[in-house]
Amino acid sequence: MKRSRPHDEAMATLYRNDPALALEVINDILSNGDQPELLSVLRQLTQAFGGVQSVAEQAHLNPTQLYRTLSPKGNPALSSLTAILKAMGLRLAVQPLTTPAASR
């Protein structure tokens, strides 16, 4: 789903003001595996963290590469995704689907 620019700006402001919400949204998206939605949220977070130029510089990517990576048709390599998240003070983590006690 393509979002409007005002919506993206509003979400960037919301995430800037409530980082816990951003984490909740990202983790929910990751649990459902919706890559286009993840890229949309990462674009909004990029705005929240100072824009493409700033995040690209911190992630050691060029801005054009960051634009392409987070485009609706983007397919980021793990190295790019981890660099982008690190620039935002975030990281990927692996968690079990069920707790060990529940699986017995």
Amino acid occupying residue 98: T
Neighbouring CB atoms inside 10 A of 7's CB total: 12
Binned at pLDDT 50, 70 and 90, residue 3 comes out as low
In the chain, % of residues over pLDDT 90: 70
88 CB-contact burial (10 Å; exposed 0-12 / middle 13-18 / buried 19+): buried
In this prediction, residue 96 carries a pLDDT of: 85
In this prediction the pTM is 0.82
Residue 97 inside a domain? The answer is no
In this prediction, residue 100 carries a pLDDT of: 64
Binned at pLDDT 50, 70 and 90, residue 104 comes out as low
Residue 44 inside a domain? The answer is yes
Q: Torsion angle, CA of 39/81/30/6, rounded to 10 degrees?
A: -30
Query: Do residues 42 and 70 make contact, with C-beta atoms less than 8 angstroms apart?
Result: yes
Query: What number is the average pLDDT over the span 70-86?
Result: 94
In this prediction, residue 33 carries a pLDDT of: 83
Range of the domain at 65: 5-87
Residue 74 inside a domain? The answer is yes
How many distinct structural domains can be found in the chain? 1
Residue 22 inside a domain? The answer is yes
Q: Pull the structure tokens for residue 44.
A: 């909004």
Per-residue pLDDT tens over the stretch 15-40: 999 989 999 999 999 888 889 999 99
Residue 102 inside a domain? The answer is no
